Amino acid sequence: GENVEQHPSTLSVQEGDSAVIKCTYSDSASNYFPWYKQELGKRPQLIIDIRSNVGEKKDQRIAVTLNKTAKHFSLHITETQPEDSAVYFCAAGTNFGNEKLTFGTGTRLTIIP
């Protein structure tokens, strides 16, 4: 089955700086890569996703890049703000008959004011 590794497990950045979280996956058939944000005590929510036919996707201050050859994808947050503090999960999935979405272990991001 799919295995998703996520690094780092914790990350602290100064407000206004950029944050990068990286994930690698094992199944070359995976073609869908979402990122979820979970604020303290709340449910995970989708913030951005990318499919294998795209190398990069941006949405305001967040962006995701995908390298299918190397089987890794990354979340980039620019101009970080206190409300970006949360746990971020990457995930990998495929729609070729396998509807299981495998999540990474999460990154706790802390923005230092």
Partner 1 sequence: EAQVTQNPRYLITVTGKKLTVTCSQNMNHEYMSWYRQDPGLGLRQIYYSMNVEVTDKGDVPEGYKVSRKEKRNFPLILESPSPNQTSLYFCASSPLSVTNTGELFFGEGSRLTVL
- Residues in contact with partner 1 by the rule CB under 8 A: 1, 6, 9, 31-32, 34, 36, 42-46, 49, 89, 91, 93-95, 99-106
For the bound state, the minimum distance from the C-beta of residue 90 to partner 1, rounded and expressed in Å, comes to 9
Nearer to partner 1 (CB atom), residue 40 or residue 113: 40
Spatial distance between the Cα atoms of 102 and 57, rounded to a whole number of angstroms: 21
Nearer to partner 1 (CB atom), residue 44 or residue 84: 44
For the bound state, the minimum distance from the C-beta of residue 20 to partner 1, rounded and expressed in Å, comes to 19
For the bound state, the minimum distance from the C-beta of residue 112 to partner 1, rounded and expressed in Å, comes to 23
Nearer to partner 1 (CB atom), residue 1 or residue 113: 1
Concatenate the DSSP letters of all residues of the chain into one string: ---EEEE-SEEEEETTS-EEEEEEE--TT--EEEEEEE-TTS--EEEEEEETT-SEEEETTEEEEEETTTTEEEEEE-S--GGG-EEEEEEEE--SS---EEE---EEEEEE-
For the bound state, the minimum distance from the C-beta of residue 42 to partner 1, rounded and expressed in Å, comes to 8
